[in-house]
Each structure stands twice: as structure tokens, then as C-alpha cells.
Structure 1
Amino acid sequence: MIPAPIPDNEDARLKALRDLLVLDTPAEERYNSIVEFAAAEFNVPMVLISLVDNDRQWFKASVGLDVCETSRDVAFCGHAILTSDTMVVPDALDDLRFMDNPLVLGDPHIRFYAGAPLELPGGEVVGTLCLLDSEPRHFEPAEMQTLGALRSLVVDQLMTAAVLA
């Protein structure tokens, strides 16, 4: 397993994340409906809105997982926040970063990952909208576009909630 490096703008990224005032808040329908739609649209068993904090990834909304956070050092999303492009891992067992990751070798047995970075207007990437499957799969260009549109909805919701807070 290769842990993700810390982004160059980590201090600004964490400040932007905390300024959203969303960490450790209760579930909300506006986020739950997005992950439920994504699970159905992409036919995947797991979808997360994952926010990458200092030492954990915390899930604002999820489908298919019973946990609300994992350690950042095993998080696929820790890698995905390093860019503004969607990160796709067709088969985690074929990827040196993840092939011996405990989330691949054990529950939830992640094989496929697609994570669209949640980039705020200031350029800070605070997390991802991600799709997970226990089977390898190919991700089509049209699916990338749809995931990008849903990512925009999540960012809009985060920014709206921060303004209203």
C-alpha cells in the first residue's frame, strides 16, 4: 500500500474544509439523495461523499457502508484529492497504491473506485464524491461526465450550507 502524499496546500485545504462547518454533522437529505441517485445511476453498491480531514476521511453521506469514517492513510480519496480530475481505479488489485490495502483485501473488498474531487471555488479539494464496487469495472466517458455533474451538485450544496450556517 502506498499512502497518499500530503497536498502542497494542506493547511489552506483543511481551513477551507473546516470553514464549511459540515464535519461531524448529522445526515441530511440533500446529500443522501445524491448518493442514492448515484448508486442507482451507476449501478454500484457503494457511494460516498467523503471529506478528507487531517487524519481521517469522514462520510457526509453514504450508500452501502455502515461506517462513518476511515483512517486517511488507507483512503483512496486521499489520492483523489491531489488533483481536480476524477481518479478511476478499474481494479485495485492491479494498482500498486491499493493492491494490499486493507479495504481491498478485507471488508468492503474494494476493487473499483471512481472519485470526483470536491473542489471549492478557491481551488481547495476537500473530498470526493466516489463510487465503489467489489468487482472490477470499466468507466465510460459518459459516466465521467455524469459523475462530474453530480460532483458539482455536492459542491453547490456544501457552499450553500456554509453560507447559511
Structure 2
Amino acid sequence: MNAPEIPRQEAERLIALRGLQLLDSNADKGFDRLTELATKIFDLPMAMITLIDEDRQWFKSHQGLKVCETPRRISFCGHVVADGQPMVINNALRDPRFSDNPLVTGSPFIRFYAGFPLFVAPGVCVGTLCLIGTLPRAFEDAEMDRLRLLAAQAEELIELHVLRAQARQRETLVGSTH
């Protein structure tokens, strides 16, 4: 199993990630609708919006998966964050980087994976929108384009979350000065 590499701009990436104030936050209907839509569009059992911190992959939203996080060292999404590029694994059992990964050899028995990076600034990737299947499958260019569009929507939801948090902070400051 190949653990994901650490991006060159890791310190900047982690500062940006923390600034989002999304890690360990409550469920959000907008993010959950997006991952639910992804499972339906691609006819796959699992879809997640992930955020990668120093040690873990945390799921802001997850469909079809019971856990809320996994270790970064075994995450597929960590590879996407490290490269800043989309990644498709058609059959994880046949991919030497992942064939002995505990997420492949055990639950949730990943066979198919497609992940698209989520950026909060140019070159600053904080996570992914990813799709997971328990059967190998092909992934066509048109499907990658659909995943790209959904990932762009996830980035907009992240931006909206930040703007709302900033507005709440301003309201708190204004309220405390009166």
C-alpha cells in the first residue's frame, strides 16, 4: 500500500483548511444533498465530501458509509489532495498502490474510486468530492465532466459556509459593542 505523499504547500494548505471552520462541524443539508445526488447520478453506493488534515480524512458529508473519518495514510483522497488532480481507480484490487489497502481488503471493500480535488485558492487543495463502488467499473470522460461540475458546486458550498461564518462573526462583534 502506498500512503499519500504530503503536498509541497502542506503548511499553507492546513492553515487554509482550518480557516474554513468546517472540520468536525455539524451535518449540513447542502453538502448532504450534493453527495446524495452524486450517488444517484453515478449509480454508486457511496459518495463523500472529504477534508484532509494532518492525520485523517474527515467526511463533511457521506452517503453509504457509516464512519465519519479514516486515517490519512490509508485514504484514496489523500492522493488526490497531494497531486491536486482527479484520480480514477477502476479496480482497486488490480492497482498495486491500493490492492492491499485495508479499505480494499476489508470494509467498505472499495473496488472503484473516483475523486475530484476541492480547491479553496489556486493550488490549495483541502479535500475531495469522491465516489466509491464495491464493484470494478469504467469511468467515461462524460462522467468525469459531471464529477467536475459537482465538485465545483462543493467548492461553492464551502465558500458559502465561510461567508456565513464571517457574517456571524461580524454580527457577534457588532452585538458586543452595543
Query: Fold match, TM over 0.5?
Result: yes
Q: CA deviation at 1:83?
A: 2.7
Any unmatched runs of 5+ in structure 2? Answer: 166-178
Which structure 2 residues correspond to residues 68-147 of structure 1 after superposition, within 5 A? 68-147=68-147
Aligned partner of 1:43 in structure 2 is 43
Which structure 2 residues correspond to residues 147-158 of structure 1 after superposition, within 5 A? 147-158=147-158
Aligned-partner Cα distance in 2 for 1:6–1:67:
24
Are 2:58 and 1:58 aligned?
yes
Aligned-partner Cα distance in 2 for 1:63–1:130:
11
Deviation sequence 1:129-153 (CA, Å, 0-9, x none): 0000010000011100000000000
Are 2:33 and 1:33 aligned?
yes
Bigger CA drift: 80-89 or 95-104? 80-89
TM-score (norm 1): 0.98
Preserved CA contact (<8 Å) 2:39 2:46? yes
Preserved CA contact (<8 Å) 2:7 2:83? no
Kindly indicate which of the two structures has a greater share of residues assigned to helix.
Answer: 2
SS at the partner of 1:120? strand
Preserved CA contact (<8 Å) 2:80 2:116? yes
Note the aligned Cα RMSD (angstroms): 0.8
Aligned-partner Cα distance in 2 for 1:83–1:5:
8
Q: CA deviation at 1:7?
A: 0.5
Aligned-partner Cα distance in 2 for 1:47–1:8:
27
Deviation sequence 1:106-128 (CA, Å, 0-9, x none): 00000100000001223200000
Aligned-partner Cα distance in 2 for 1:120–1:162:
10
Aligned partner of 1:12 in structure 2 is 12
TM-score (norm 2): 0.91
Bigger CA drift: 139-148 or 84-93? 84-93
